[in-house]
Amino acid sequence: MEVVIVPDASAGGELIAEAVAALLSRKPDALLGVATGSTPLPVYKALAAKVRSGAVDASNARICQLDEYVGLPAGHPESYRSVVLREVVEPLGLSEKSFMGPDGTAEDVQAACEAYDKALAEAGGVDLQLLGIGTDGHIGFNEPCSSLASRTRIKTLTEQTRIDNARFFDDDIEQVPRHVITQGIGTILEARHPILLATGEGKAEAVARTVEGPVASVVPASALQLHPHATVVVDEAAASKLKLADYFRATYAAKPPWQGL
């Protein structure tokens, strides 16, 4: 696991956008896994700017969802399909044909989960998966004590996660769905390059437990320690509880430029 400490959220977004640009230059039809929420917005903003300037050709890129609420009607503005189309697909100049995600409105949710896992595999697998992290250490919607071998499945959200997400639903927790479809931890670990972005002091404890703690299901993001090419990008605030912060800074400063992110 590589840990990169950046000055702020904007710098983190630019760094990850550069990694995506490098990937698209060598694999134009790369499958990019995207996360929702406020944390990854600087990445999408920086990448869209590169597309508009002509620095990046994303015309053949493919986009896939990490997770989806169960039960929100099609077209609901806070369904993750709507969010990804609005914040990623459209700004990159792509069409819905380039997008894939699980069906949160399916009558048979379990079948929808299995179908999405199969679709990801048939698409050749995820090349780069962007992740955020919850204050309790969850990735995707794999809440604490999720199986580290789990596949795409339905999950019940914790009360804390519903509280955290209420800001997207007029601060009304009763509007936040109780269930979601999420890529499992085992599914996430099949991505060729997972990149976790964390910003703000509120994520500092979760980042420290993910990076420096033991691999444990109680901190789902800690499973990234098992991946041969996982990257954790954090701003100074989110890095504030890392005991090895100085080491991480030194190793990244000494990294050969040709290695990339």
Determine which one of 87, 103, 138, 193 is catalytic. Answer: 138
Distance separating alpha carbons of residues 165 and 252, to the nearest angstrom? 33
Active site residue 227: no
Q: Which of 87, 103, 127, 136 is catalytic?
A: 136
Q: Which of 68, 103, 143, 235 is catalytic?
A: 143
- Catalytic annotation present for 107: no
* Residue 141 near residue 67 (C-beta atoms within 8 A): yes
Phi and psi at residue 197, to the nearest 5°? -115, 130
Does the annotation count 179 as an active-site position?
no
- Residue 30 CA to residue 43 CA, distance in Å, equals 17
Q: Is-catalytic flag, 76? A: no
Euclidean distance between CA atoms 188 and 182, whole angstroms: 10
Cα angle 183, 188, 191 (rounded to 5 degrees) comes to 130
Dist. CA 37–CA 14, nearest whole Å: 17
Catalytic residue numbers, as ranges: 67, 136, 138, 143
